Homo-oligomer: A and B are copies of this chain.
Amino acid sequence: MQLINALVYALSPEGNSASPPASVVATVPYYPAYKSQTDMFDGREYRWDGTTATWSNSGSRNSTKDFIEFVTSPNNPDTALCEPVLAGSSAIVDHAYYWPHLTHIPAPADEDVMLFTTSKLSGHAGSRFGWALIRDENVAKRALSYVEQSIMGASRDTQLRILKILKVILANLHGKEDIFAFGYEVMRSRWRRLNAVVSRSTRISLQKIPPQYCTYFNRIKEPSPAYAWVKCEWEEDDDCYETLLAAGIISRSGTFYEAGARYTRLSLIKAQDDFDVLLERITEFVDAEHGRVPAASSSM
């Protein structure tokens, strides 16, 4: 989390230079912290400057501007594998979900500035252990300086704890298979079960994810995303978050991702019991739909 702004800082022009602030941008739907954190830390070096759509048509693109573009791959929340939109921008590629149990791995990650975390690896997000791979030495030094100045790095306890967690996970596999194969089975099964239910609905739909070749497993991989990106299709359901909430389902509104209230995000990375309750409520929600006439339905 803290590394996000460390990388923005590291890629922005030096504070004492005469350069204008870098423009920090992301593509809709994006992780809300990109904007809120950049806004809060707004300094002389950089500032939030909206979404890539504003700048990607060449008419409004000012070539003298320095851009720092957030690229989340797979994206949060819609799980698309993204690439930079603005040519020539400095890209911060956020690989928080780039694990073979959550997505296919089309190629080894090889971008200039990459962000990783164990938060989505195993369900121990509370440990908040992350790291960055940075190709340019000067950028790496500035990011390191930021981390030292702001918090002196991840605490020793967090480092020891995440090592222990990884050892426990490996021990629980009894040497039979790797942790990604295990995680893939869990996540694939959840996505399948959810899709089976939602496919009966005209009221809600899910993002489409085709099977893809994965270089980690060396075979075609079925989808196994961390999140379901739900769209409410009925005209009356103009706030999809509220629509699901009325059915006892807690999600995260698309408005946080600048994607509009028609969308909302369901988390599939949770304890099995919690997932089972979620699926039960979604099933009830879809079953109820057939006993009800919508005010007006859209065939989108």
Contacts and interface: CB of A to CB of B under 8 A. Distances in A.
Interface stretch (A62-70, A76-84, A151-159): A151-159
Interface in A232-252: none
A273 B146 CA distance: 33
Contact of A161 (B33, B39, B151, B161): B161
Interface string A35-52: 011011111100000000
A38 to B, nearest CB: 10
Contact of A5 (B1, B150, B156, B158): B150
A42 B43 contact: yes
Contacts of A145: 40
A40 B146 contact: yes
A126 B149 contact: no
B150 A1 contact: yes
Contacts of A5: 150
Given A1-B151, A1-B152, A150-B2, A157 B126 contact: yes
Contact of A155 (B36, B41, B126): B126
A149 B42 contact: no
Interface string A133-149: 00000000000011001
Contacts of A158: 155, 157-158
Interface in A198-218: none
Contacts of A150: 1-2, 5, 37, 40-41, 150
Contacts of A155: 126-128, 155, 158
A121 to B, nearest CB: 14
Query: Chain A interface residue count: which class?
Result: 20 to 34
Contact of A151 (B9, B128, B156): B128
Contact of A126 (B36, B43, B44, B156): B156
A15 interface: yes
Contacts of A1: 150-152
A129 to B, nearest CB: 8
Nearest to A150: B2
Which of A15, A37, A40, A145 has the most chain B CB within a 10 Å cutoff? A40
Contacts of A149: 33, 36-37, 40
Which of A33, A158, A161 has the most chain B CB within a 10 Å cutoff? A158
A198 to B, nearest CB: 31
Contacts of A146: 40
A145 B33 CA distance: 12
Interface string A2-17: 1001000100000100
12 contacts: A1-B151, A1-B152, A37-B149, A40-B146, A41-B41, A42-B43, A43-B44, A127-B155, A128-B155, A155-B158, A157-B161, A157-B162
Given A2-B2, A37-B150, A157-B158, 4 more contacts: A1-B152, A126-B156, A126-B157, A128-B152
